[in-house]
């Protein structure tokens, strides 16, 4: 019979692995300071201090870059909610507690530096940004997911309520965030923004490795139990910013212009992690694990089809937009 451990048993069994990976992280993490990534000489006072308030003409960012920067920043802003989710599922003692504190401190720098950059360079409307922050943080982050089961039935599950769901989710989420930050840097057309977002992405990558290693250790310890959690997460994945103001509009813009789309999610996030864990090559699953693997395989096949359909629709939409621009240019 497949082994099944309680939350406390999992934390105790995996703590030596957590300690190894905390030490690994500390040995690899590079010290950096947000103030070194902001062009302070571009700053000037706003109206409350005798200057002028924001105007769209002041922004050097494209519409796509603004949407991506706002989305990435508001996602980082919700750190208190993420901290609560992680802290409730990890121990506050020993290596687990050390990691929670260190991860939170490192993540906090990301919101600091992006906001400073946007306010100093007047890249986005600071009033609208602050209003969106208030809404998003007030709503907080909910890890509740509607899990789809066989036969078309559904069950509502708190996917944060357990170590396995938590480490599975943040493995994929940290890698997805890394991809989004890197691609946002490329569309900003500003070497300062690109450098800043590359620095943030490097942090996210190290965070992902910690969680990926922990989830991999859990797969070795309780294969069936861990794969069920992984399958729940992959089949119902949402970015942590889901529900923020203008989430759908900004997400569509980001997907249309290659910052984060379904194909990137599948090929740059989901599949590399599953390969790292050898999910489809392992032979240590029991009946529950085999059922979860089958469900996961079916989902990935559907996602491949969804990617193709999305790309066809995107290509048609971009072609229409290009034709409209050409028509306006001719009329002009």
Output the known binding site for Fe cation.
Answer: 76, 107, 110, 174, 204, 207
Helix (H/G/I), strand (E/B), else coil: 239:
coil
Query: E strands along the chain, which residues?
Result: 144-148, 154-158
Query: 216 vs 72, 84, 171, 183, CA distance in Å?
Result: 28, 23, 10, 27
Assigned token pair, 195: 């450098």
| Pair of tokens at residue 302 | 């559907």
What is the C-alpha to C-alpha distance for residues 12 and 6, in angstroms, rounded to an integer? Answer: 10
Alpha-carbon distance of 189 to 59, in angstroms, equals 12
Query: Is the separation of the CB atoms in 215 and 172 below 8 Å?
Result: no
Residue 63 contacts residue 55 (beta carbons within 8 Å) = no
Contact 63, 139 (CB under 8 A): no
Neighbours of 217 (CB within 10 A): 19
How open is the CA angle 265-158-109, to the nearest 5 degrees?
Answer: 60
Binding residues: 76, 107, 110, 174, 204, 207
Which of 127, 112, 114, 111 shows the shortest CA–CA distance to 56?
127
Closest C-alpha to 179, from 272, 104, 249, 265: 265
Distance separating alpha carbons of residues 322 and 190, to the nearest angstrom: 24
Q: How far apart are CA 128 and CA 119, in angstroms?
A: 12
Beta-carbon count within 10 A of 11 CB: 19
Is residue 203 packed enough to be buried (19+ CB in 10 Å), middle (13-18) or exposed (0-12)? buried
């Amino acid at each position: 019979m497949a082994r099944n451990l309680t939350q406390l048993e999992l934390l105790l069994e995996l703590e030596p692995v957590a300690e190894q990976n905390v030490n690994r992280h500390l040995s690899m993490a590079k010290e950096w300071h947000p103030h070194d990534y902001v062009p302070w000489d571009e700053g000037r006072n706003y109206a409350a201090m005798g200057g002028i308030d924001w105007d769209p003409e002041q922004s050097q960012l494209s519409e796509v870059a603004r949407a991506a920067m706002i989305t990435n920043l508001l996602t980082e802003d919700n750190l208190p909610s993420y901290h609560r989710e992680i802290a409730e599922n990890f121990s506050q003692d020993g290596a687990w507690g050390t990691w929670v504190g260190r991860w939170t401190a490192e993540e906090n720098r990301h919101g600091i530096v992006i906001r400073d950059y946007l306010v100093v360079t007047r890249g986005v409307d600071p009033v609208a940004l602050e209003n969106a922050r208030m809404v998003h943080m007030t709503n907080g982050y909910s890890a509740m997911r509607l899990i789809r089961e066989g036969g078309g039935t559904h069950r509502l599950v708190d996917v944060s309520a357990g170590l396995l769901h938590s480490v599975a989710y943040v493995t994929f989420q940290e890698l997805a965030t890394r991809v989004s930050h890197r691609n946002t840097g490329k569309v900003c057309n500003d070497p300062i923004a690109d450098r800043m977002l590359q620095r943030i992405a490097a942090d996210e990558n190290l965070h992902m490795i910690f969680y990926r290693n922990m989830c991999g250790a859990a797969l070795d310890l309780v294969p069936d139990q861990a794969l069920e959690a992984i399958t729940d997460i992959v089949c119902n994945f949402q970015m942590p910013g889901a529900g923020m103001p203008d989430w759908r509009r900004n997400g569509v813009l980001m997907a249309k212009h290659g910052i984060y789309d379904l194909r990137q999610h599948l090929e740059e996030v989901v599949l590399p992690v599953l390969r790292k864990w050898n999910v489809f090559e392992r032979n240590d699953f029991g009946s529950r694990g085999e059922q979860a693997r089958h469900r996961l395989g079916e989902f990935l096949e559907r996602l491949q089809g969804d990617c193709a359909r999305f790309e066809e629709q995107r290509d048609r939409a971009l072609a229409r937009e290009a034709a409209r621009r050409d028509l306006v240019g001719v009329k002009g």
